Copies of this chain bind each other. A is one copy, B any other.
């Protein structure tokens, strides 16, 4: 939930994350609240009485259009308006939410609740939400759960630990691991990571990995090339180079200061904004390149040759 909030979500239904990390906890009742009472209307009225200033009612326990929304409207009128508040919203958690939300919007509007929001939930992900919006769903807010907090679309993130250099007599000796799988050939040496931003648009052009003692001089043009297809080369100009890596610990001492979660969120969103739309679309996104410097590529290439000969 903390990561989701940083990446742009508005809040969480997990209250402990509010307490521990300051992520705003949001939500409404569970179905069990509605089931607990003798009637749905009783359940809604009891909730509205308890939270007249923040009243979102869950309308799909029995039948959204026949009972849920009519009962919600009745509860809003009986228990929220007389207390001088406006109701917050209704939540639909099952069924054809696109269809139901359109009907719900009409019913709420006709009852004078044009300002009441419609919240949707139920195993939503980015693809379902896109399709709902394309089909005109009248949803103001999406509750996304298990598809967000698990890595549902890419459950395994391959990460490997390999040695890249050995310090010997005060000198860093680059080391390589070869493989028939090109992706498993390591890039040797102690390295730095740079991001090149276009000065005109502010967008990220590419990332470049260099050797540790290299500097990218952004006052001059800089040639980048694809690390797999090295004949694909391109000159970058009018850009700003920024180092991405920051030390967290130096000689066992923490040197990094934790930031406020809202500062992190702001920074994250501003960085996502430096990506071209072409890179962020779902289908056929443009590759964002992570290139090597010429010197680093030469070191890698030399070691590949040297170890392949043995």
Binding site for B on A (CB under 8 A): 30-32, 35-36, 40, 60-63, 66-67, 94-96, 123, 146-147, 150-152, 155-156, 158, 161-163, 166, 175-181, 184, 307-308, 310
Contact = CB atoms under 8 A, between A and B. Distances in A.
30 contacts: A30-B161, A31-B177, A32-B161, A32-B163, A35-B162, A35-B166, A35-B175, A35-B177, A36-B163, A36-B175, A60-B179, A62-B178, A62-B308, A62-B310, A63-B178, A63-B308, A63-B310, A66-B310, A94-B179, A94-B181, A95-B179, A95-B180, A123-B156, A123-B158, A146-B156, A146-B158, A147-B156, A150-B151, A150-B155, A151-B155
A136 to B, nearest CB: 19
Nearest to A175: B35
B184 A94 contact: yes
Nearest to A176: B35
A95 B181 contact: yes
A49 to B, nearest CB: 20
A157 to B, nearest CB: 8
Contacts of A63: 178, 307-308, 310
Given A60-B179, A63-B178, A146-B156, 12 more contacts: A30-B161, A30-B163, A31-B177, A32-B161, A32-B162, A35-B166, A36-B166, A63-B308, A94-B179, A95-B180, A150-B155, A152-B156
Nearest to A39: B310
B166 A96 contact: no
B31 A180 contact: no
A61 B185 CA distance: 9
Contacts of A162: 31-32, 35
Contacts of A308: 62-63
Contacts of A96: 180
A96 B308 CA distance: 17
Nearest to A40: B310
A62 B175 CA distance: 11
A94 B308 CA distance: 16
B310 A163 contact: no
Contacts of A175: 35-36
A155 B158 contact: no
